[in-house]
Amino acid sequence: MLTTFIWILIVILFILSFVGLVFPIIPSILVLWAGFLLYLFGIGGELSFWFWLGMVVLTVLIVLSDLIANSYFVKRYGGSKWAERVAAIGVIVGSFVMPPFGIILVPFLAVFVTEWLIQKDISLALKIGVASFVAFLSSTLAKLVIQFVMIGWFLVEAIF
């Protein structure tokens, strides 16, 4: 009975990790790790050294995905270093302002205004703002795929 309850909690934590992709106020990766640790300590299950090493590597990839995507797309479309920094701050602020839409709108508007002030070119500022939006979508897709891999690997280790 207790094992069933713990498995239900693990599934809930995994679902919450996906909710965190849309509502960044929920730390997706920490919730995912809570599920792994709950299995380890709550059920007493065993997970291999390779599993833990893989989870650390994938966790680093998830954390870097926002930075890499943001930097890549903003640079590719001619954005400044300020636009990169403002986009990162915009994601954080946006998660608190009318979630989940704030995480899309705030970075876009912040980058747009920043680039408009720096470049004095509204069409270029708009293009760079859209690039920050594409970066958000790209990093979210990358995190989604990585989280599925992490959960899949966990289930293979835990069940087989």
DSSP 8-state assignment for residue 43: I
pLDDT of residue 38: 97
Residue 47: partners with Cβ closer than 8 Å, 6 or more residues away: 36, 39, 40, 154, 157, 158
Can you say whether residue 27 is alpha, beta or left, with left for phi > 0 and alpha for psi between -120 and 50 degrees? beta
Q: Which portions of the chain are predicted below pLDDT 70?
A: 99
pLDDT of residue 146: 96
Domain boundaries along the sequence of the chain: 2-159
pLDDT of residue 67: 73
pLDDT of residue 27: 87
pLDDT of residue 116: 92
pLDDT of residue 70: 76
Q: Model confidence over 62-105: pLDDT tens digits?
A: 888 877 787 788 778 888 888 888 887 887 787 777 767 777 88
**d(C-alpha 60, C-alpha 64), whole Å:** 6
